[in-house]
Amino acid sequence: MVIALIVLVGVGYGVVRARSGGSGTGLPAASPSPSPTGASAPSPTPAAVPRWQVAKAVGPVVAYTAPSTSAAVRQRFSAVNVNGFPSIFLVRSVRQVGAATWYDVWLPIRPNESHGWIREGGVAIYSTVAKIVINLAKRRLSVYRRGVLMGTFRVAVGVPALPTPTGIYYINQKLRPPTLGGPYGVLALGISAFQSRLPNWPQGGPVAIHGTNQDSLIGGAVSHGCVRMHNADVLRVNAWVPAGSPVVIVK
| Options 115, 210, 224, 230, the catalytic residue | 210
> What is the identity of the amino acid at 205?
G
Nearest to 150 by CA among 39, 26, 6: 39
Rounded CA-CA distance 22/27 in Å is 12
b/e string for 108-139 if b means 16 or more Cβ within 10 A?
bbeebebbbbbbbebbbbbbbbbbbbbbbebb
- What CA dihedral angle connects 174, 178, 180 and 182, to 10 degrees? -90
Does the annotation mark 210 as catalytic? Answer: yes
| Options 115, 224, 226, 230, the catalytic residue | 226
Does the annotation mark 115 as catalytic? Answer: no
Contact indicator for 175, 185 with CB cutoff of 8 Å = no
Q: Is beta strand 73-77 parallel, antiparallel or unpaired with respect to 61-64?
A: antiparallel
- 12 Cβ contact partners less than 8 Å away, ≥ 6 residues apart: 171, 174, 241, 242, 243, 244
Rounded CA-CA distance 32/92 in Å is 9
Contact indicator for 153, 233 with CB cutoff of 8 Å = yes
Q: For the residues of 177-188, what is the DSSP string, one character each?
A: -SSTTSTTTT-E
Catalytic residues: 210, 226
